[in-house]
């Protein structure tokens, strides 16, 4: 029986929410093994001088614990 755990991760990108998602997954994949699922919990953007400055995503990433 597999046991999973959830990590909450927030990342940002000046390009897009999709790029922020990729940044978060690439970073999580460096330190967490056995990633299985990702859920986008929140998308938001920071604004500077009336324009989007940075795209921010908050994710929940599931991973299987090793025995």
pLDDT tens for 10-25 read: 999 999 999 999 999 9
Token output for 33 = 């093994």
CATH number of the CATH domain containing 59: 3.30.1660.10
User: What is residue 16's DSSP assignment?
Assistant: -
**Residue-number span of the structural domain to which 30 is assigned:** 4-64
Domain count, the chain: 1
Which residue is it, tokens 């953007």? Answer: 45
Question: The pTM is what?
Answer: 0.85
CA 65 to centroid of chain Cα atoms: 19
> What sections of the chain are H helices per DSSP?
17-31
7-65 per-position pLDDT tens digit: 999 999 999 999 999 999 999 999 999 999 999 999 999 999 999 999 999 999 999 99
């Amino acid at each position: 029986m597999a046991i999973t755990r959830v990590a909450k991760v927030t990342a940002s990108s000046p390009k897009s929410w999709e790029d922020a998602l990729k940044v978060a997954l690439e970073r999580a994949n460096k330190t967490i093994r056995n990633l299985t699922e990702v859920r986008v919990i929140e998308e938001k953007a920071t604004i500077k001088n009336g324009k989007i400055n940075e795209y921010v995503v908050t994710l929940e990433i599931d991973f299987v614990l090793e025995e």
